């Protein structure tokens, strides 16, 4: 990977994790999607966030990225309170994400998509630059982008239009774009969705590389338990917007409460 590892220390304070969410509550009309959820993530750590359908995983990621605001609670990044910060400010502070459903610029090339991320555009496809919009200002350090394309095995398709590529390749483009802004926190929302076994194995290696060589804290949501339990240092299980287990991946499904939550959701 091309970028230097982020420092192991999370923030200005001592003992402060890279990311800390405390008591997050999020309501949608009458429905409480998050009911006081906590979360911590350290630099260089992979945290798996699992739980049955509708348990609040994506909502929590949306609240961390700034796509949604929490109604109660606090979010701190490297010790700084970002609870009320805009999505743009959070992106500039080092929070990047990928989406359950790919949100790429389908009519741009792979390189152009990654350059959009390098420019830390927090606007996303709907508000992003058009083909003529100049995705890459002159000061963009292209070496970083070339390094990313190489590391994510996208070099050979760098000039291809994204919509013409396989789904697995598009997933890698999305991760490359998220990494192009040199984030400290990478939120991966169902990165293995739609991937075949070979592509999922590659994704595992990629997440390992992101953590070890870039020093990012990586939060992964996925329904593929082999993937999540296999790559995570720690997992948190959500049920009805509350964390019901936090600890070693291999211990998660030894907890009757976790098993019951999954069975209850069937």
Ligand X SMILES: Nc1ncnc2c1ncn2[C@@H]1O[C@H](COP(=O)(O)OP(=O)(O)OP(=O)(O)O)[C@@H](O)[C@H]1O
Q: Let me know if 73 is exposed, middle or buried by CB neighbors in 10 A (0-12, 13-18, 19+).
A: middle
| Binding piece for ligand X, criterion CB under 6 A, among 10-18, 25-33, 88-96, 112-120 | 25-33
The answer to whether residue 31 forms part of the interface with ligand X (CB under 6 A) is yes
| Binding piece for ligand X, criterion CB under 6 A, among 16-24, 51-59, 77-85, 111-119 | 51-59
**In angstroms, what CA-CA distances link 244 with 8, 25, 259, 260?**
28, 15, 11, 11
Which lies closer to ligand X via its Cβ, residue 27 or residue 80? 27
- For the bound state, the minimum distance from the C-beta of residue 24 to ligand X, rounded and expressed in Å, comes to 11
Which lies closer to ligand X via its Cβ, residue 44 or residue 191? 191
- For the bound state, the minimum distance from the C-beta of residue 221 to ligand X, rounded and expressed in Å, comes to 7
The answer to whether residue 264 forms part of the interface with ligand X (CB under 6 A) is no
- For the bound state, the minimum distance from the C-beta of residue 28 to ligand X, rounded and expressed in Å, comes to 3
Dump strand ranges (E) for the chain: 19-28, 31-41, 46-50, 72-77, 80-81, 95-98, 185-189, 217-221, 234-239, 242-247
Map residues 182-221 to x or -, x wherever contact with ligand X holds by CB under 6 A: ----------------------------------------
Phi, psi dihedrals of residue 181, rounded to the nearest 5°: -85, 10
Q: How many CA atoms lie within 13 A of 101 on its CB side?
A: 1
The answer to whether residue 33 forms part of the interface with ligand X (CB under 6 A) is yes
Q: Are strands 234-239 and 95-98 parallel, antiparallel or unpaired?
A: unpaired
3-state DSSP assignment of residue 168: helix
- Within residues 58-87, the interface with ligand X by CB under 6 A covers 58-59
Q: How far apart are CA 68 and CA 209, in angstroms?
A: 29
The answer to whether residue 236 forms part of the interface with ligand X (CB under 6 A) is no
- For the bound state, the minimum distance from the C-beta of residue 59 to ligand X, rounded and expressed in Å, comes to 3
The answer to whether residue 54 forms part of the interface with ligand X (CB under 6 A) is yes
Among 28, 142, 153, 264, binds ligand X (CB under 6 A): 28
Q: What is the CA radius of gyration of the chain?
A: 18
The Cβ of residue 143 has, within 10 Å, a number of other Cβ atoms equal to 9
Chain residues that interact with ligand X, rule: CB under 6 A: 28, 31, 33, 51, 53-59
């Amino acid at each position: 990977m091309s970028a230097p590892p982020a420092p192991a220390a999370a923030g200005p304070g001592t003992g402060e994790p890279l990311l800390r969410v405390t008591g997050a509550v999020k309501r949608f009309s009458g429905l409480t999607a998050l009911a006081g959820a906590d979360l911590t993530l350290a630099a260089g750590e992979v945290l798996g966030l699992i739980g049955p359908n509708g348990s609040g995983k994506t909502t929590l990621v949306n609240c961390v990225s700034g796509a949604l605001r929490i109604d109660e609670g606090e979010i701190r990044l490297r010790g700084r309170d970002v609870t009320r910060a805009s999505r743009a400010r959070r992106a500039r502070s080092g929070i990047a994400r990928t989406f359950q459903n790919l949100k790429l610029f389908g009519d741009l090339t792979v390189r152009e998509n990654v350059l959009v991320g390098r420019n830390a555009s927090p606007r996303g496809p709907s508000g992003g630059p058009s083909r003529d919009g100049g995705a890459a200002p002159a000061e963009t350090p292209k070496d970083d982008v070339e390094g990313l394309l190489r590391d994510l095995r996208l070099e050979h398709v760098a000039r291809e239009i994204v919509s013409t590529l396989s789904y697995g390749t598009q997933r890698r483009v999305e991760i490359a774009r998220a990494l192009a802004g040199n984030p400290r926190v990478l939120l991966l929302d169902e990165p293995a969705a739609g991937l075949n076994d070979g592509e999922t194995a590659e994704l595992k290696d990629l997440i390992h590389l992101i953590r070890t060589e870039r020093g990012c804290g990586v939060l992964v949501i996925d329904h593929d338990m082999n993937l999540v339990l296999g790559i995570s240092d720690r997992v948190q299980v959500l049920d009805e917007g509350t964390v019901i287990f936090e600890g070693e991946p291999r211990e998660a499904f030894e907890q009757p409460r976790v098993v019951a939550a999954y069975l209850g959701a069937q």
